[in-house]
Copies of this chain bind each other. A is one copy, B any other.
Amino acid sequence: MLRNMSLRHAALGLLVEMDGASGYDLLKMFEITMGNVWQATQSQLYGELNRLTADGFIEVASEGPRGRKEYRVTDAGLGELRHWLLEVPPKIVRRDEILLRLFFLGQVEPDEAAGFVREQAAALDARLVALGELEGAIDWGEDNLSFYGRLAMEYGKRSMAMRREWYDWVLKELAERDTPEKR
């Protein structure tokens, strides 16, 4: 039974970087720091925190108002994180809904196909703007999360720019196929 459990390690890692936090804190941090890299729902996260506690990788450091539980990573947890980081090969999951649709665009009219691509390009432009805003809104410090977060941000920007160019290239290819003046 090979389990990968990235959410578990994402929570563990974030907890280390935050130097302890509650589930609620963690959930917010998830969204702002790595919403573009990994997503987690509330029910997933709370469940995982309980499992991590049961496994001894984290512990409740203190309890606060409103039933708040401040979690802290144990030594075993730190070891588990390092092990996962360096010794567990990352599983590459390729799953792209837009690319999947591309395969079947031959099933609709050429102008509908081009319209689809143009729509995706416009949506991408909007996300590019949002990413720029996020970058401006973040208070980039000298801590690890800031440093590595900036590297991830750069990846996001490059990735989107590449995709944008590819959309334009696709539109050109579609137009050429539609008007076959070759030879």
Contact = CB atoms under 8 A, between A and B. Distances in A.
Interface in A36-89: 36-39, 78, 81-82, 84-86
B159 A102 contact: no
A36 B100 CA distance: 10
Contacts of A162: 158-159, 162
Interface string A83-126: 01110001111111111111111111000100110001000000
- Sorting the interface of chain A by its residue count into under 10, 10 to 19, 20 to 34 or 35 or more gives 35 or more
A177 interface: yes
Nearest to A96: B37
A173 B151 CA distance: 8
A92 B103 contact: no
Nearest to A98: B90
Contacts of A34: 100, 103
A88 B4 CA distance: 31
Contacts of A91: 97
24 contacts: A4-B97, A6-B95, A6-B97, A13-B100, A13-B104, A16-B104, A33-B103, A36-B94, A37-B100, A38-B94, A38-B100, A39-B94, A39-B95, A81-B104, A82-B107, A90-B98, A99-B152, A103-B145, A104-B144, A106-B143, A151-B170, A154-B166, A155-B163, A159-B159
